[in-house]
Amino acid sequence: MKTGSYPGKVSIRIADSDIDFHAEPGDPLLRAALRSGIGMAYDCNSGGCGSCQIELVEGEIEDIWPDAPGIGARARKRGRLLACQCRPLSDCVVEARVEDRFRPVVLPQRRSVRLVGFRPITHDLAEFTFASEDGKADFQPGQYAMLALPGVEGERAYSMANLANAEGQWSFVIKRMAGGAASNRLFDEREALEGLELDGPYGTAYLREETPRDIILVAGGSGLSPILSIAAGIARSEKLAGKRVMVFYGGREAKDLCAARQLDRLFPDGHRFEVIEATSEGEEGAREAGASRVQYKGFIHEVLAAYLKENALDFGGFDYYFCGPPPMINALNRMLQLEFNVPEDQLFFDSFL
Ligand SMILES: Cc1cc2nc3c(=O)[nH]c(=O)nc-3n(C[C@H](O)[C@H](O)[C@H](O)COP(=O)(O)OP(=O)(O)OC[C@H]3O[C@@H](n4cnc5c(N)ncnc54)[C@H](O)[C@@H]3O)c2cc1C
Ligand code: FES
């Protein structure tokens, strides 16, 4: 491994397979694979989850974030690397996990964008809309893109809140994080931002329209972003026209709750759609204005379990989409799989590491 300047296009081969692809100069190895339509395993694309671990068999690779939390010191010592955080410096052979379920449905592309819209939602959430210079915005509801901000080290994953469109618009609900380099820059310096690049789409937690089941969406904080896109995808889908949709949204206090306000307009008749909101530190049972809004106290996974039990609903009768902070994602996965035996292939999630 070394740091260096990038040669021209290089060729990458997956060991013990007939898979090979090219990487453009400076492109992370994972993204080069996905751009070529190869299903290299990954989740966060941000160095945090460890799903994209590979081993270098031959060639030279630059580790672009040696402190990335997604890989431990012992694995690094054994020569393992994160495919999302390394760039090939020569032709390479790597050992990597490749599976059909990671194969992109839309090939990711890098494009220049400019900020064209800003809409505050709560005290710390706002919707940012970017327009791409090539006029393209092609993605599945629930996917994310990587945003490069000049002056901020590394790129940040943000999940689209809108649907694919012919105007080249990419919208994201972004949360201002205490001390966060990218989110504070976006909130505070948005009018002066230049040289922005978006690379995407990425992610496998996108809406599956071929399902016999009803649908539950769960989000906390900025997890609202992909849930808005998925809900809009459901509202528009003829295949999902008869499906019941339940949205569970969690915040710390009442001032964090905003899902019902954002979602009610998608299902104006309301008959197959409910939003259940909960605060971990708020009031018990408060009911607020809004057609579908019922507010509970508790962590959102507990509220979800209580609600399904109270209404005698079968946990296995739903597809689940959930996005937000890692503790919420872990709690939901544990609860749904271990306690209620929901099969793994009914769970689609992104952990906002
Ligand atoms: C799949 C996915 C989807 C997401 N969707 C959303 C969304 O829709 N809305 C939203 O508000 N947030 C989303 N996030 C979280 C978002 O990507 C940022 O982590 C968050 O905005 C905090 O960034 P920050 O720069 O403000 O904070 P910081 O603390 O400055 O940065 C935190 C993150 O930046 C990355 N990072 C830090 N240093 C480096 C480095 N040297 N090289 C590479 N990467 C580095 C890491 O991913 C780290 O978790 C998502 C995260 C993931 C993984
Ligand atoms: S996909 Fe590389 S660490 Fe998560």
For the chain, give every domain's residue range. Answer: 10-102, 109-202, 214-351
Mutate which of 29, 34, 46 to test ligand 2's pocket (most atoms within 8 Å of Cβ)? 46
Q: Where are the alpha helices (DSSP H) in 174-223?
A: 181-188
**Cβ of residue 230 lying under 6 Å from some atom of ligand 2:** no
**Cβ of residue 48 lying under 6 Å from some atom of ligand 2:** yes
Provide residues with CB under 6 Å of ligand 1.
44, 46-48, 65, 144, 153-154, 156-159, 172-175, 177, 180-183, 203, 222, 225, 350, 352-353
pLDDT at 284: 60
pLDDT digits (tens, 9 = 90+) for 289-345: 443 455 678 899 999 999 999 999 999 999 999 999 999 999 999 999 999 999 999
pLDDT mean across residues, the chain: 92
Nearest to 55 by CA among 33, 31, 75: 75
pLDDT at 295: 67
Please say if the pLDDT value at position 262 is more than 80: yes
pLDDT at 289: 44
The answer to whether 170 and 199 are in contact (CB under 8 A) is no
Mutate which of 43, 44, 46, 350 to test ligand 1's pocket (most atoms within 8 Å of Cβ)? 46
**Cβ of residue 45 lying under 6 Å from some atom of ligand 2:** yes
Q: What is the 3-state secondary structure (H, E, C) of 167-178?
A: CCEEEEEEECCC
pLDDT digits (tens, 9 = 90+) for 69-83: 999 999 998 989 999
pLDDT at 2: 53
Fold type of domain 214-351:
Rossmann fold (3.40.50)
- 327 Cα to the center of ligand 1, angstroms: 16
- 50 Cα to the center of ligand 2, angstroms: 5
CATH for the stretch 10-102: 3.10.20.30
Segment 33-50 shows an average pLDDT of 98
pLDDT at 297: 81
ipTM for the complex shown: 0.98
Contacts for 207 with CB less than 8 Å, ≥ 6 apart:
140, 141, 142, 230, 233, 234, 237, 321
Spatial separation of the C-alpha atoms in residues 315 and 308, rounded to whole Å: 7
Return the SS3 of 109. strand
User: pLDDT confidence of 125, banded at 50, 70, 90?
Assistant: very high
**Cβ of residue 350 lying under 6 Å from some atom of ligand 2:** no
Other C-beta atoms closer than 10 Å to the C-beta of 184 total: 14
pLDDT digits (tens, 9 = 90+) for 167-198: 999 999 999 999 999 999 999 999 889 999 99
Do β-strands 10-14 and 20-23 pair in parallel, antiparallel, or remain unpaired?
antiparallel
Please say if the pLDDT value at position 7 is more than 90: no
User: pLDDT confidence of 146, banded at 50, 70, 90?
Assistant: very high
pLDDT at 291: 38
Fold type of domain 109-202:
Elongation Factor Tu (Ef-tu); domain 3 (2.40.30)
Q: What is the DSSP string of 19-46?
A: -EEEE-TT--HHHHHHHTT--B--S-SS
